[in-house]
Amino acid sequence: MSTDQQQKPKDTLGRKALRIGIGLVFGVILPLAVLGGGAYLAYTLMQTAPQAERSKGGAGRAEQARLVEILKLQTSDEQVTVEAMGTVRPARIVSVQPRVGGAITSIARELEPGGVFDEGDEMLSIDTADFELAILQREADVSQARSDLEIEQGQQQVAREEFALLGRSIPDGQQGLVLREPQLARAKAQIAAAEAALKEALLDLDRTKVKAPFNSMVQEENAEVGAIASTSSMIAQLVGTDRFWVELSVPVDMLRWIEIPTMNSGQGSEVRIYDSAAWGADTFRTGYVDRFTATLDEESRMARLLISVSDPLALEEENRGKPPLLLGSYVRAEIAGLTLSDAIAIPRADLHEGDTVWIKDADNRLRIQSVDVAWRGRDEVLVLDGLKSGVDLVTTSLSAPVEGMLLRTDDLTEAPTSTGEESATQAKADDPTTDTVEEDI
């Protein structure tokens, strides 16, 4: 065997050993070295990290008191106010039709949309010629009927005299016929019919003047001079001006706080009506709860109350200058409900989660107190249980309220202080600028 042939197997074995060595280095040794280096670095960082030290002044450091504002609470009789939204609508509305037909001869100046009539004011008149002629005819009929009655009375007197001269007895059933009593009754009936026809003719003449049935305002009109009006013609639509209704939607559970006539009271609750879009934020009109409908709104499932507002258009002298209610307006209402005795009113913003309030006790410490809320309004709540008169309600917003934290107010001449390890811990939590870190032991 030649030298080259012997050398070739040796070279092959060497290359295999080299590949195995390289695989061990990159597959095992190098990853172990990296893990070991990382562990050593972490250990070194932990050993050289800053160590927390116990505050050496904890036992004598003063606890910082939080500056707060307080509200002194007092019991009183508080009236519940129920807020609701609703729509203004007329309490009375009527379509006016003439009672007789004919040509329209005149129209009142106010007979146009927005015109106002008092009860009994003439709105328009119809030609009276035909009705005056009818009256003359009916008067003649009355005269004729009276003449016939006088003639019949004379004939009855003659019959009586003739009956007396005969001296004969007549059966009771035939005596009335002999004395012409049926004829006399018919003559009297003809007079009554003629007089009734005359009254009807006079009434028709009066009806040629169409008058306002009540104090009203014109919403629509459909009449012109010269037009022929019939008893089926609508000449105007009127709404009553003595009062409007405001139909309010109220949650069913609020009805027990409201005085409603015929339901739970003789006098309805007073209601303030606000139309801020038309009148401004502070202007209101006053009304009273008149009644409630017995059905719930199909969509909102809320009860509907009718509020009566007298002289809604401010037409009367005593209401001059007040803003008028506009039909169809969407308004806000405040209903003066029942009164709670010995209740405490708290601003709603100061009622916290879980129906709790923050109280400053006699030691100037924060107390988190649960309360029983009897009524929740938009701006305040009424409390019956859980608070006493004279307590101090904390009205300042605290980012991290802790039971027992020290408080102070501007009226204190010297800020309250407290010492001790617990106080130091509380002060450290309230003071974000402190450099000392407390250590759990």
With respect to residue 388, please indicate whether it lies within any of the assigned structural domains. Answer: yes
Q: Where are the beta strands (DSSP E) in 227-329?
A: 228-229, 236-240, 243-250, 270-274, 284-292, 303-310
Residue 412, φ and ψ in degrees, nearest 5:
-80, 130
Widest pairwise Cα distance in the chain: 198
Residues 71 and 168 in one domain: no
With respect to residue 353, please indicate whether it lies within any of the assigned structural domains. Answer: yes
Residues 290 and 398 in one domain: yes
Residues 163 and 278 in one domain: no
Tell me how far apart the alpha carbons of residues 416 and 427 are, in angstroms, rounded to a whole number. 13
Pair 261, 117: CB distance under 8 Å: no
Residues 133 and 189 in one domain: yes
With respect to residue 227, please indicate whether it lies within any of the assigned structural domains. Answer: no
Torsion of CA 310, 313, 315, 320, to 10 degrees: 90
Count the domains in the chain: 2
pTM tops 0.75: no
CA-closest candidate to residue 151, choices 186, 177, 109, 105:
186
Residues 391 and 282 in one domain: yes
With respect to residue 378, please indicate whether it lies within any of the assigned structural domains. Answer: yes
H or E segment to which residue 422 belongs: helix 421-430
Can you name the residues that pair with 125 across neighbouring β-strands? 106, 209
CA-closest candidate to residue 388, choices 373, 371, 413:
371
Residues 70 and 197 in one domain: no
pLDDT tens by residue, the chain, 441 residues: 444 554 555 566 666 666 776 766 666 677 777 777 777 777 777 767 565 555 444 445 667 888 999 999 999 998 999 999 999 999 999 999 999 999 999 999 999 999 999 999 999 999 999 999 999 999 999 999 888 888 878 877 776 776 666 666 666 666 666 567 777 888 889 999 999 999 999 999 999 999 999 999 999 999 999 999 999 989 999 999 999 999 999 999 888 899 998 777 778 999 999 999 999 999 999 999 998 888 888 788 899 999 999 999 999 999 999 999 999 999 999 999 899 999 999 999 999 988 999 999 999 999 999 999 988 888 899 998 888 889 999 999 988 889 999 999 886 544 555 544 444 444 444 444 444 333 332
With respect to residue 386, please indicate whether it lies within any of the assigned structural domains. Answer: yes
Tell me how far apart the alpha carbons of residues 393 and 391 are, in angstroms, rounded to a whole number. 6
Residues 267 and 386 in one domain: yes
With respect to residue 426, please indicate whether it lies within any of the assigned structural domains. Answer: no
With respect to residue 277, please indicate whether it lies within any of the assigned structural domains. Answer: yes
Residues 284 and 202 in one domain: no
SS3 track for 139-190: HHHHHHHHHHHHHHHHHHHHHHHHHHHHCCCCCHHHHHHHCCHHHHHHHHHH
What is the reported pLDDT for 211? 94
Residues 166 and 279 in one domain: no
Residues 84 and 134 in one domain: no
Residues 407 and 290 in one domain: yes
What is the reported pLDDT for 392? 93
What is the reported pLDDT for 53? 53
Torsion of CA 144, 145, 147, 151, to 10 degrees: 130
What is the reported pLDDT for 136? 95
Non-local CB neighbours of 70 within 8 Å, separated by 6+ positions: 360, 392, 393, 394, 395, 409
With respect to residue 400, please indicate whether it lies within any of the assigned structural domains. Answer: yes
Residues 262 and 398 in one domain: yes
Tell me the residue range of the domain where 272 lies.
66-91+245-251+258-298+326-412
Tell me how far apart the alpha carbons of residues 60 and 139 are, in angstroms, rounded to a whole number. 120
